[in-house]
Amino acid sequence: MLIIFDLDGTLINTIDDLGQACNHALSACGYPTHKIEDYPRLVGNGINKLIERALPEEHRNEETVMQLRAFFVPYYDEHNCDLTHPYDGIAALLETLKQQGHTLAVASNKYQAATEKIVEKLFPGIFDVVLGERENVARKPDPQIVWDIVEAIGRKGEEAIEDALYIGDSLVDAETAKAAKLPFVACTWGFCTREQLMTAQAHYMADHPKEILTII
């Protein structure tokens, strides 16, 4: 089976490092910062959208976002694993799935360089394909990242999405899975509440990583 995982909020808790990087960029450019606990509602659509949401409403424009991104990216590249860690039970889940012979992939809206670095550091040798945000490629919920994963593992035609599953923690992930016509597993331990995920019409709900083994 091809099992596609979202990254932030699904495999790993990245809020502390994302929040600190965003606050660094905001402060460097003279804007007010946010409490770390405010960041879960700001993430999910890539770095640029995170910065845009973090800015005061009257300053939410492309020029200002790119100005802050120039501070965000170097800081995050250096500090993206300071406090980031896998959720309890994720390492055991991935190891079991790998031993069972499943093909594992990551589909993230985090920019590609950071996605690769974090996955390689925290999950070395586990994933067959790791894709993040790339230039001139639409971000999730556009399903292009799913098609790129499918192509990378050599699937074609009708078999492309047969025997495949998408696992994520957000409404963006739910929309991505729906667009790709994949069964969706909603993880309640991430950045969305269970109540929010109930609106996603997920095929399955998982309250702990070990429950995913009963779905597959």
Higher pLDDT, 36 or 46: 36
Domain total of the chain: 2
Question: Domain check: are 55 and 148 in the same one?
Answer: no
Give yes or no for residue 181 having a pLDDT over 90. Answer: yes
Task: Assess whether 112 and 21 both reside in one domain.
Answer: no
Question: What residue numbers bound the domain in which 25 lies?
Answer: 15-79
Is there a single domain that holds both residue 165 and residue 91? yes
Same domain for 136 and 35 = no
Residue 3 corresponds to which tokens in the numbers above? 């099992």
Residue with tokens 């597993």: 185
Structure-token pair, residue 53: 């949401």
**Domain closes at, from 23, 44, 79:** 79
Q: So what's the pLDDT on residue 155?
A: 84
| Residue that finishes a domain, picked among 79, 108, 125 | 79
Instruction: Indicate if the pLDDT at residue 160 is higher than 80.
Output: no
pLDDT at 159 over 90: no
pLDDT in tens, 21-39: 999 999 999 999 999 999 9
Q: Are residues 33 and 98 in the same domain?
A: no
Nearest CA-CA partner of 171 in 193, 149, 154: 193
Q: Do 30 and 93 reside in the same domain of the chain? A: no
Does pLDDT of 72 surpass 80?
yes
Indicate whether this model's pTM tops 0.85: yes
Q: What is the pLDDT of residue 45?
A: 83
Both tokens of 213, joined, read: 């083994």
Same domain, 71 and 114: no
Output the pLDDT for position 157: 62
DSSP letters spanning the chain: -EEEE-SBTTTEE-HHHHHHHHHHHHHHTT-----GGGGGGT-SS-HHHHHHHHS-GGG-SHHHHHHHHHHHHHHHHHHTTSS-EEPTTHHHHHHHHHHTT-EEEEEEEEEHHHHHHHHHHHSTTT-SEEEEE-TTSPPTTSTHHHHHHHHHTT--GGGGGTTEEEEESSHHHHHHHHHHT--EEEETTSSS-HHHHHTTT-SEEESSGGGHHHH-
Percentage of residues in the chain with pLDDT exceeding 70? 99
Q: What is the mean pLDDT of residues 64-85?
A: 96
More confident residue, 201 or 70: 70
**Residue % of the chain over a pLDDT of 90:** 90
Same domain, 90 and 183: yes
Q: Quick one: 8 and 59 in the same domain? A: no
62 and 73 together in one domain: yes
For the segment 55-68, what is each residue's pLDDT rounded down to a tens digit? 999 999 999 999 99
Round the average pLDDT of the chain to a whole number and report it.
95
CATH code assigned at 68: 1.10.150
Instruction: Give the residue from 62, 79, 96 where a domain finishes.
Output: 79
Give the pLDDT band (50/70/90) at residue 158: low
Task: Say if residue 153 is in the same domain as residue 186.
Answer: yes
Least-confidence region, from 93-107, 146-160, 196-210: 146-160
Q: Which residue has the tokens 């994963």?
A: 149
Residues 8 and 19 in one domain: no
